Amino acid sequence: IATLAQLRRLSERSQDWGAVVNLTADIDASDTSSWNSGDHDGDIGTVNQAMGFSPIGNYFDRFQGTFNGAGFSITGLTINRSASRYVGLFGFCESGSITALGVNNVTVNGDHYVGGLIGFNDCNITASYAKGSVSGESNVGGLIGHNSINSVIIVSYAIANVSGNLRVGGLVGGNSSSYGTITASYAKGSVSGDDEVGGLIGW
């Protein structure tokens, strides 16, 4: 992948979510702020707005591939889906890996399982980061909304303003009490919420 058009194609083709993907250039994703006009908030009484980028992976069709960022970054990504779960560049990642990928100036708004990089993570994440702002209701994190039982985060970070209600963290909103592992990673920024809130991990 070297262009925004190719990244969009990946996001819209679930049949490719088990592939080996290599990023070969920095991508300017600022155009995503005007994409996919629709019911962003689940309220038919409000005016439709641009919902932005469609996350790669969801509860029913999960990203299970390998994404090698090769040190490149995606800048200006917008996701405005306050009525949706599993929201991030990757909505749901399972049994795969993401390596050396940066997300800059990201703006992500969702409901449950919301992250600058991944909404719900059950993959191995290495040397990756997210910078920007992330907001949602529960399991909201600057990098990852929820880090599940088989997931590993190594040498990764978030520099983000993060807000939500329940399980809100600068790096990870909710981290599995069983096997979710975080090593040599950090978060910077502001974090606000009502319950189970932390600078690094909310829960």
**pLDDT single digits (tens) 76-131:** 999 999 999 999 999 999 999 999 999 999 999 999 999 999 999 999 999 999 99
Comparing 196 with 177, which gets the higher pLDDT? Answer: 196
Mean pLDDT confidence for 5-16: 98
**pLDDT at position 150 over 90:** no
Residue 176 confidence (pLDDT): 86
Residue 175 confidence (pLDDT): 95
Asked whether the beta carbons of 145 and 117 are under 8 A apart, the reply is no
**pLDDT single digits (tens) 126-139:** 999 999 999 999 99
Q: What CA–CA distances, in Å, run from 114 to 23, 47, 87, 174, 197?
A: 23, 23, 5, 10, 14
User: Measuring CA to CA, which residue among 84, 10, 95 is closest to residue 49?
Assistant: 84
Cβ neighbourhood burial of 183 (10 Å; 0-12, 13-18, 19+): exposed
Q: Coil, strand, or helix at residue 40?
A: coil
**pLDDT at position 178 over 80:** no
Residue 12 confidence (pLDDT): 97
Q: What is the DSSP string of 139-154?
A: EEESSEEEE-TT-EEE
The percent of residues above 70 in pLDDT, for the chain, comes to 100
In which band, very low, low, confident or very high, does the pLDDT at 149 lie, cut at 50, 70 and 90?
A: confident
Mean pLDDT confidence for 37-66: 94
Residue 20 confidence (pLDDT): 98
Mean pLDDT confidence for 1-6: 98
Q: What are the b/e assignments for 4-29, b being 16+ CB within 10 Å?
A: beebbebbeeeeebeeebebeeebbb
Residue 177 confidence (pLDDT): 74
Range with the poorest average pLDDT among 42-56, 108-122, 133-147 = 42-56
**pLDDT at position 44 over 90:** no
